[in-house]
Structure 1
Amino acid sequence: MDLDSMHSVNQLRTMEVIDINLGMKLGYIKDLKIDCDNYKILALVLPEEKASWFKKEDAREIPWENVVKIGVDVILVNYNKTNSNEV
């Protein structure tokens, strides 16, 4: 494994997530869903773009399989609302 291609969780949280289909900014990672038994990331959890004062903040989950590329300062994903799990 190339050490240059490794990122810490803190680095991932500072990278903006972008949908490659629309070129739309989705935001920054709020959390990661991890399979502790198999040591794998299952999904990226991002806050929903609109949250009101009276509504509980929703989150969107992007499966790890939909991550296309992790660059220097952005994460490119194939975001499809119908395939993603809303948390």
Structure 2
Amino acid sequence: MRLSEMSGKEIVDLKRGERLGVLGHADFEIDENTGMIRSVLIPSMKWFGFRKQGEEVTIQWENIKKIGTDMIIIDFEDKE
């Protein structure tokens, strides 16, 4: 899958059933030594980016469970 094909997919938290953002608004953290993706950084926005709520959410690459045609399903521990 190409990065351009991932853009626009919604990121959904498996445990909470919550929409965390859209991948087009996210950044990737890449390991400079291996070129592998370490994590996805998603800005914490409220509904379609109208109001910024705070800091970004970091999703480790190993927490991504499924990349589908419309969304990316993740399962991660919230550190609240």
Work out whether the TM-score is over 0.5: yes
The gaps in structure 1 that reach 5 residues or longer are 1-6
Structure 1 counterpart of 2:62, which letter? E
Correspondence for 1:18: 12
Distance 1:80 1:48 in 2: 16
Name which one, 1 or 2, has greater alpha-carbon Rg: 1
- After TM superposition, the runs of 4+ consecutive aligned structure 1 residues lying more than 2 A away are none
Aligned Cα RMSD in Å? 1.9
Kindly, what percent of the aligned residue pairs are identical?
A: 27
Distance 2:65 2:17 in 1: 13
TM-score of the aligned structures, taking structure 2 as reference length: 0.78
The reply on whether 1:27 has 2:21 as its aligned counterpart is yes
The gaps in structure 2 that reach 5 residues or longer are 47-51
Query: Partner of 2:62: helix, strand, or coil?
Result: helix
Correspondence for 1:4: none
The reply on whether 1:80 has 2:68 as its aligned counterpart is no
Counting only pairs closer than 5 Å after superposition, residues 1-87 of structure 1 correspond to structure 2 as 7-29=1-23, 30-50=26-46, 51=52, 58-82=55-79
Per the TM alignment, residue 14 of structure 1 is displaced from its structure 2 partner at its CA by: 1.2
